[in-house]
C-alpha cells in the first residue's frame, strides 16, 4: 500500500514538470486547479481527495492554487475553477470543469484506474468472471466474456440471462444471443452450425466464410438478420482494422444490398 500522504500534494510552477508530467508516465496524476475563495472548489476538493485515497496509490492528486500559480493556470487554459485535468503518459488524457457529485468523480477516475471488477474480468477464467459480476453486475466486459463461455459449452439459459441486459449496447452480446436463436432453429442449416464450430475453434476466417455462404443462400429476413448480428459480433472481436473484419464487412454490405 502506498503512503497515502504522498499521493495528495500541493504543486507549483517550479515542480509541476517533475511531479505531474514526468510522474504521469508511471501513474496517472489528477491535477485540481483551485482557489481558497472558490466555493465549488471547497465542495469538490474533499470528495476528489477521498476518491483518490480509496485507490491506494494507483492514482495521485496534485493541487494547484491558481492565485499563487497564475502562469501555470494560464499555460493549461484554465478559465474557470475548479478545473480538473488527468495527466497520463506525460499529457492530458481527460478533464472537466466545475464541481460534480461523488458518484461522477468515481466514474471519472475509474477510466484511469481499473476497478477490482476490471481486474477480475481481465483474468478471463470463469471463476474470475463470475466474481467480477458479483462486484459489478453491470460490468459488460465480464458479462459478455462469461456469456461466450456459457454459449460454447451449451448452457443456453444461463447465457441468455447473462447476455440479455447488454444486448442493446454490446455487439458481441447481441451476436451471441442471435447465435443462440439460430442454434435452436431447426431450419438454420448446416453452414450456420459449421460456422459456430469454427468460431469456437478460434477460426474466425472459416466461421465468416460459412456465414457469408449462409446469408447469401438465406431467404428468411429474420434469419438473415440473426446471421448478420453474429457476423458483426465476430467483426467486433477481431477489431475494426483486422483484415478479415474489413474484407467480410465489405462482403456483408454487398450481400445485404
Write out the catalytic residue numbers.
Answer: 38, 41
- List beta partners, residue 111: none
H-type alpha helices, the chain = 16, 39-53, 70-75, 102-110, 116-123, 126-135, 140-153, 156-163, 171-183, 190-200, 204-217, 221-238, 243-256
- Cell of residue 53, nine digits: 485515497
Please state the φ and ψ torsions of residue 146, each to the nearest 5 degrees: -65, -40
Residue whose C-alpha is closest to residue 86's, from 41, 42, 139, 48: 48
Cell 470463469 sits on residue: 126
Q: Is 93 helix (H, G, I), strand (E, B) or coil?
A: strand
Q: How far apart are CA 241 and CA 228, in angstroms?
A: 19
12 bridge partner residues: none
| CA distance linking residue 4 with residue 45, whole number of Å | 16
Amino acid at each position: 500500500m502506498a503512503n497515502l500522504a504522498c499521493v495528495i500534494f500541493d504543486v507549483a510552477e517550479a515542480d509541476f514538470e517533475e511531479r505531474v508530467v514526468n510522474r504521469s508516465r508511471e501513474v496517472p496524476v489528477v491535477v485540481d486547479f483551485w482557489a481558497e475563495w472558490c466555493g465549488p472548489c471547497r465542495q469538490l476538493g474533499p470528495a476528489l481527495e477521498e476518491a483518490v485515497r480509496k485507490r491506494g496509490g494507483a492514482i495521485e492528486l496534485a493541487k494547484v492554487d491558481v492565485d499563487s500559480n497564475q502562469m501555470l493556470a494560464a499555460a493549461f487554459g484554465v478559465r474557470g475553477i475548479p478545473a480538473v485535468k488527468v495527466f497520463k503518459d506525460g499529457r492530458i488524457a481527460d478533464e472537466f470543469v466545475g464541481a460534480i457529485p461523488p458518484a461522477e468523480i468515481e466514474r471519472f477516475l475509474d477510466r484511469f484506474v481499473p476497478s477490482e471488477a476490471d481486474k477480475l474480468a481481465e483474468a478471463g477464467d470463469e471463476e474470475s468472471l463470475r466474481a467480477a459480476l458479483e462486484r459489478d453486475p453491470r460490468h459488460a466486459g465480464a458479462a459478455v466474456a462469461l456469456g461466450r463461455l456459457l454459449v460454447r459449452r451449451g448452457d443456453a439459459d444461463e447465457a441468455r440471462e447473462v447476455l440479455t441486459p447488454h444486448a442493446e449496447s454490446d455487439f458481441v452480446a447481441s451476436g451471441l444471443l442471435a447465435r443462440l436463436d439460430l442454434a435452436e432453429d431447426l431450419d438454420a442449416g448446416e453452414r450456420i452450425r459449421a460456422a459456430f464450430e469454427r468460431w469456437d475453434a478460434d477460426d474466425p476466417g472459416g466461421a465468416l466464410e460459412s456465414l457469408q455462404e449462409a446469408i447469401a443462400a438465406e431467404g428468411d429476413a429474420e434469419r438473415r438478420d440473426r446471421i448478420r448480428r453474429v457476423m458483426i459480433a465476430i467483426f467486433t472481436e477481431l477489431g475494426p482494422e483486422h483484415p478479415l473484419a474489413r474484407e467480410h464487412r465489405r462482403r456483408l454490405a454487398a450481400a445485404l444490398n
